[in-house]
Structure 1
Amino acid sequence: MANFKLFNRQAATLPVTDTFNASQAPAYAYNARHKLAQLAVTGCLNQTFHASAQAQLDSVLQLVAELDSRYVAKAAVYARQRGHMKDMPALLLAALVAQRSALVPELFAQVVDSGKMLRTFVQILRSGVTGRRSLGSQPKRLVQDWLNNASEYQLLQASVGTQPSLADVVKMVHPKPAEAWRAAFFAWLLGKPVDVQALPELTRDLLAFRSGATTEVPAVPLQLLGNETLSAEQWAEQARYMGWQALRMNLNTLARHAAFQVPGCAEQVAARLADAAQVAKARVYPYQLLAAYRMAGDEVPQVVREALQEALELSLANVPTLPGAVVVCPDVSGSMHSPVTGYRQGATTAVRCIDVAALVAAAVLRKQPKARVLPFEFEVVKVRLNPRDSVMSNAQKLASIGGGGTNCSAPLARLADEKARVDTLILVSDNESWIDARRHGATETMRQWERIKRINPQARLVCIDMQPGATTQAPEREDILNVGGFSDAVFDVIEQFALGQYAARHWVRAIETCGTGLGRK
């Protein structure tokens, strides 16, 4: 009898690999729409373990040129509103400006939702990378409208930062404000002579505080206070007014300046951090809360630490309760120990891909205590988790293991060998499997998935990829979902996939339904 591993009906039906991943192992290529979606929600435009910043930029611009502008616009909206991305939505908008797309005004309104996004958009457009160096009449008009409709607080927030500064932007577009206070504000911003009494209230308060005319700290962004010396009571007052994200990032600063020693301050900060409405409005990544918890110094009170844990649980509200037997397989290999948003001098996050993978696994376990967690590198790594522990605790335990090569098929082989019951298998990886590379035919991941399917015909496979790659070890089909990103939006798509609400190209269809008011070309 001939070799059954080579000559069998099941192996012949599996898709043959059509490309190589960054580790030069056989893989399946994403189609153009899926590739843009992957870049839109994971492309940090920084150096990652497997992709350079320039390669990401080149890929995005090539895909924008190939795809219809309506899909590009939908991807930008999804990346901003669901994926909470910053630079990539602005890049996609700037690329459509260069194409003179009719969708630009509608897209601008949905993507440029803050002064920081406004400055990022202007920076990218004027850099020349999308094919033009000037704003042009339509973008100029859109920027003018934003400046002429933003609140005073939004303008003050936008004035924090350079390259370009808000003053640079105002010089570029010359807004014509209808209100006297706005005209005075722009004049002050540009360093022109202005009657202080004509300025709006917060700006007057800021100038009075800077000059020493008052000791009352104005309710302005913390960065605008410069190096002013504040008392513990004034720092505690700042904790009341700073934005939610700023509060999360400045806990050690508040502790260092003794703000938490002011009666009631710690409790007030904890209440704000754990406020469900503020957590949702802040569009915080779950991993950012994990990072805040890990980085909080000993002087940060326990009540504040507990509030961060509660906020993390709130940020994972989208984790679905999946039916049946659920297995989560976080990749803990060496490449997963790289920063999740890549390397950039002076701006490299302390959060690694493995932290996010561990967080996903811990979140699913918290929602479904009977779920199995199988971390893998060369092979499956043994770890014992308590479903009753917090998401924070289990995520930290998972993130502390691993470090070998990548073998995406290892946990699937374990399940197939056990003839285990599987209804939903979630694989969280960078898809750069190479230990199990095969020279011909399908990937080993697909071969092992077929073994699982023969035991569990109803099983579904979800592959979550957090890196800006272009390949997968398991191509999209009715029972396989490939989704990217590190916000909680991925759980929305997973739930819809598990419920059978999308046919093939599940994630692309989810993106195509995103964005209101975006008409057709």
Structure 2
Amino acid sequence: MASKTLFSTLRGILSPKADSFNEAGGLAYKLSPRHALAQYGATGCLNSTYYATAEDQLQQVLKLCAKVPTDFIARTALHCRQKGFMKDVPALLCAVLAARDAERLELIFDRVIDDAKMLRNFVQILRSGVTGRKSLGSLPKRLVRRWFETRSDEAIFRADVGQSPSLADIVKMVHPHPATKSREALYGYLIGRKHDASALPGIVREYEAWKAEPEGNPPDLPFQMLTALPLTADHWQAIARRAPWQMTRMNLNTFARHGVFSIKEITRLVASRLRHEEQVHRAKVFPYQLLAAYLNVGGEVPHDVKEALQDAMEISVSNVPVVAGKVIVAPDVSGSMHSAVTGVRKGATSKVRCIDVAALVAAAFLRQNRDAEVLPFENNVVRVSLNPRDSVMTNAQKLASLPCGGTNCSAVLIDLNARKVQADLVIFVSDNESWMDTPYHGHFGGSATRTMSEWQKFKQRNPKARLVCLDIQPYATTQAQERADILNIGGFSDSVFSVIAAFARGELSGEHWVGEIEKTPL
């Protein structure tokens, strides 16, 4: 018999060799340019992250755009705006198209630049010159004019919040043509020029009259237009009664400070609004934004309102898939995961961390898959006991409070292999910056990442198993190379759950997430 020592099967020998290093210095696999652009689009807020500056991210996106067809740039902008609810990178991609492919820009403009915030982003980015031009140019000007033409007088007035540029600045840049006397007066009013006050839209006249004599209920206008005015407790209560869902979520402490919750009927109304299923879905709220609201509410906010936030959370993650078979969820609790999920920008840094998002995803999967095993990891797997019957909020807070260390993505698979665990789906929620399982730095050495090698071992025992790497940071590498049984996906909207569900059922095309983006109709 031939020597078993000499000719034994080499586990992991078919694992592909690593071809890159990640930002932490660990072995990694490069994402394709299309995949990397999608990752930046779904997670990038053009702020500084744990491993990269805002300038680094901007340059990476521009370099990736130069490597992919404009058709894919357009589809990525659409997908990441409509499915991922992102703002900055979709606006940047539209600015890139303004310089490279006017036809594609015109096809997607109205669906990506769909509100005043997106319009201001687009104009600011285009005029900065980063995409190769500083003037808007004839086509972008025409598209911006169309943006104004397709909105009512009232909608434009309500959108007049925010600066740098303001809506008035944009009106001055593009000179939209007023089709009515009221529109002509409105444009004059916005830019501070002489206008016929009697021709102004009714909502503007109502606002100006109330500013002069603030009696009775304030006009039904965006919160930002009213806060500089002398508001009484009665005014605040009127505002709270008719506030839209997102404004309600963001201003619970403000309402409490101004006596809104002293009226039990308004307290019940606010709680009912927050937990209203249709309104939650229509608001396109990120689950982590609900966690932020829950963690930040003060002691003056009534208990029923806090409970309503938990109910809203359960609704926002309701499309987490119920997976046939055993599920392993591995949230990364390492040090880098304690950075702000949307990056750092002076005066605009989110209190919500990457670890909070990872914990939320894990808790949501446990809620829907009661026999799932949750394995947090940093240097090694961190043992934790979770009750599937507890709320998503409760389990997420428990996971986010675990001790942190270095990043070792392979620790989970090493643990599963050591225990010979049988499972059908393994989900990592991480920034993918594994470095502790790289034994040397400076050269590839012809080896696979440890995560990929351990996945090969796991597959020998679980041949039908699938691996999902959900990345919540804008980087361009992964620990597990994309293939039929491995999905790399980015983002922190609940739409990623639908893609994961389809992947778990074997319904995605060969390119998985990128394939889904390619299907986006222009």
TM-score category, normalised to shorter length: over 0.9
- Taking the aligned partners of 2:182 and 2:215, their CA distance within structure 1 comes to 22
Are 2:472 and 1:471 equivalent residues in the alignment?
no
Instruction: State the shift of 1:421 in Å.
Output: 1.1
Can you list the C-alpha shifts for 1:292-332, whole angstroms capped at 9, x where unaligned? 00001111111111111111111112211111000100000
Equivalence for 1:484: 490
Aligned to 1:44: 45
- Give per-residue Cα distances to partners, 1:365-418, cap 9 Å, x unaligned: 000111000000011111111100000100000000131000101111111111
Gaps of 5+ in 2: none
Distance 1:253 1:152 in 2: 29
Counterpart CA distance in 2 for 1:267 and 1:75 is 41
CA distance in 2, matches of 1:150, 1:463: 41
CA contact (8 A) 1:328 1:426 kept: yes
2:98 — aligned with what?
A: 97
Tell me the equivalent position of 1:133: 134
Aligned match of 1:349: 350
Counterpart-to-counterpart distance in 1, 2:512 and 2:6: 32
Indicate if the aligned counterparts of 1:77 and 1:110 stay in contact, CA closer than 8 A. Answer: yes
The answer (yes or no) to whether the contact 2:233–2:258 under 8 Å persists in 1 is: yes
Q: Which residue of 1 aligns with 2:246?
A: 245
Kindly indicate whether residue 326 of structure 2 is the aligned counterpart of residue 320 of structure 1: no
Instruction: Quickly say closer, same or farther: Cα 1:4–1:392, change in 2 above 3 A.
Output: farther
Please tell me whether the aligned partners of residues 49 and 340 of structure 2 are also in contact (alpha carbons under 8 angstroms). yes
Distance 1:147 1:340 in 2: 33
Q: Does 1:176 align with 2:187?
A: no
CA contact (8 A) 2:11 2:457 kept: no
1:216 Cα shift? 2.6
Cα contact 1:476–1:504 (8 A) shared by 2: no
For structure 1, which segment, 490-499 or 174-183, has the greater mean C-alpha deviation from structure 2 after superposition?
Answer: 174-183
Displacement of 1:4 in angstroms is: 6.4
Aligned to 2:118: 117
Q: Which amino acid aligns with 2:509?
A: A
For residues 30-54 of structure 1, give each alpha carbon's deviation from its aligned partner in whole angstroms, at most 9, with x where no partner exists: 0111000000011110000011111
| Code of the aligned partner of 2:300 | E
The answer (yes or no) to whether the contact 1:329–1:374 under 8 Å persists in 2 is yes
> Equivalent residue of 2:13, what SS?
helix
- Distance, in Å, in 1 between the alignment partners of 2:272 and 2:403 is 36
For residues 280 and 69 of structure 1, what CA distance do their matches in structure 2 show?
31
CA contact (8 A) 1:94 1:130 kept: yes
Query: Which has the higher mean CA deviation after the structures are superposed, 49-58 or 240-249?
Result: 240-249
2:68 matches 1:67: yes
Report Cα offsets for 1:184-237 as digits up to 9, x if no partner. 111111112333321112111111111116433000001111422222222121
The answer to whether the 8 Å contact 2:154/2:201 transfers is no
* Cα distance in structure 2, aligned partners of 1:3 and 1:349: 57
1:107 alignment counterpart:
108
What SS does the corresponding residue of 1:119 show, helix, strand or coil?
helix
Single out whichever of 255-264 and 87-96 deviates more from structure 2: 255-264
Contact in 1 for aligned 2:280/2:316 (Cα 8 Å): yes
Q: SS of 2:290's equivalent?
A: helix
Q: After superposing the two structures, state which structure 1 stretch, 348-357 or 428-437, moved more.
A: 428-437
CA distance in 2, matches of 1:10, 1:379: 22
Deviation by residue 1:106-141 (Cα, 9 ceiling, x = unmatched): 210110110111111111111100000111111101
Displacement after TM superposition at 1:6 (Å): 11
Q: Given residue 106 of structure 1, which amino acid in structure 2 is its aligned partner? A: L
Cα distance in 2 for residues equivalent to 1:5 and 1:86: 57
After superposition, residues 5-20 of structure 1 pair within 5 angstroms as 8-20=9-21
| 1:446 equivalent in alignment to 2:447 | no
Alignment size in residue pairs: 516
Q: 8 Å contact 2:331–2:428 — kept in the other structure?
A: yes
Residue 400 of structure 1 corresponds to which residue in structure 2?
401
Of 468, 473, 486, the match for 1:462 = 468
Find the residue that maps to 2:383 and give its secondary structure: coil
1:486 aligned partner, one-letter code:
F
Percent of matched pairs sharing the same residue:
53
Aligned to 2:385: 384
Closer/same/farther in 2, CA of residues 172 and 504 from structure 1, 3 Å limit: same
CA 186–443 in structure 1, closer or farther in 2 if over 3 Å, else same: same
Amino acid at match of 2:248: L
SS of the residue 1:482 aligns to: strand
> Quick one: structure 1 residues 4 and 73, their matched pair in 2 at CA, closer, same or farther if it must change by over 3 Å?
farther
**Aligned mates of 1:93, 1:153 — CA distance in 2:** 26
Question: Which residue in 2 is equivalent to 1:187?
Answer: 188
Residues 1:414 and 1:465: Cα distance change in structure 2 (over 3 Å): same
Show structure 1 runs of 5+ residues with no match.
none
Equivalent position amino acid for 1:478 in 2: A
* Residue 336 of structure 2: aligned partner: 335
Report the alpha carbon displacement of residue 161 of structure 1 after superposing the two structures with TM.
Answer: 0.9
Contact 2:325 2:424 in 1 (8 A): yes
- The answer to whether residue 370 in structure 2 is matched with residue 369 in structure 1 is yes
The one-character-per-residue Cα deviations of 1:24-77 (angstroms, maximum 9, x if unpaired) are 111111011100000001111000001111111111111112211111111101
1:189-204 alignment, distance < 5 Å = 189-204=190-205
- Name the TM-score, length of structure 2 as normaliser: 0.96
Normalization by structure 1: what TM-score? Answer: 0.96
For residues 317-358 of structure 1, the C-alpha deviation after alignment (integer angstroms, 9 at most, x for no partner) is: 221111100010000000000000111110000000000000
- Asked if 1:358 is matched to 2:370, the reply is no
Structural RMSD (CA): 1.6
Q: Indicate conservation of the 8 Å contact 1:336/1:429, yes or no.
A: yes
User: Comparing 128-137 with 230-239, which one deviates more in the overlay?
Assistant: 230-239
Mapped partners of 2:328, 2:477: distance in 1: 23
Tell me how far 1:239 sits from its aligned partner: 1.4
C-alpha contact 1:115 1:154 (8 A) present in aligned 2: no
Match of 1:509 among 492, 509, 515: 515
CA distance 1:457–1:6, shift in 2 (3 Å):
same
Contact 1:153 1:220 survives alignment (8 Å): no
